[in-house]
Structure 1
Amino acid sequence: MNARADVLQLVVGHVYEAKRPTVVGLFDRFINDRQILWVGLTEVQYDSPTVRPGWHYPKISAEAFRNWAARDVTHLMPRNEWRHAPEDARAGTRLGGEA
């Protein structure tokens, strides 16, 4: 088997779910997905519901992003929104996930 085929492909504009998805936010509760804004040779810059308004978008190593991400969930995303957490979920609650 080709080892590169198993590596999660990082694509600008795509949204990825955490291996251990968590609920974030107090009033509007979302899942802590990340959308890639920029991919460099070794770094990734992303947006997420965890990024506070007015703050810089975080940059992390591509390896760290792959270690955090479980799968590409772009096809599950509502148009122009983040995925909402279940109604009864509180901030900090871990959801099912793939881990």
Structure 2
Amino acid sequence: MPNIALELGKQSASFGVKSAYGETVDVDGVSVTPVALAITGFGGGEMDGQGDGGGGGGVAVPLGVYVRREEGLRFEPNLIVLLTVAVPFVWVAGRALSRVIRALKK
């Protein structure tokens, strides 16, 4: 039986920069490189001699793309992800600010 930890180690060697930055694609003279936030995790163990197991998972959130044109290199964010992150942040910041103002009024 192969060692699961060694197999996971071999497979996870390709994570990191390769999972955060995609392959560069040329489209109509413009070079585009996708960028993502990639998170992975693995686990395994044995439960009181009853058996062993393991698993893993991951998620990748597309942050945007690097676009290289004749003018230079520029990062263009993914607006949907930006809004998904910004809306809860603005809500929490507004709530915190209202509590600070309420505390200063006392």
Q: Same fold (TM over 0.5)?
A: no
TM-score calculated relative to the size of structure 1: 0.27
Question: Which has the larger share of helix?
Answer: 2
**TM-score, reference length from structure 2:** 0.26
Instruction: Identify the structure with the greater strand proportion.
Output: 2
Larger radius of gyration: 2
RCO comparison, higher one (Cα < 8 Å, 6+): 1
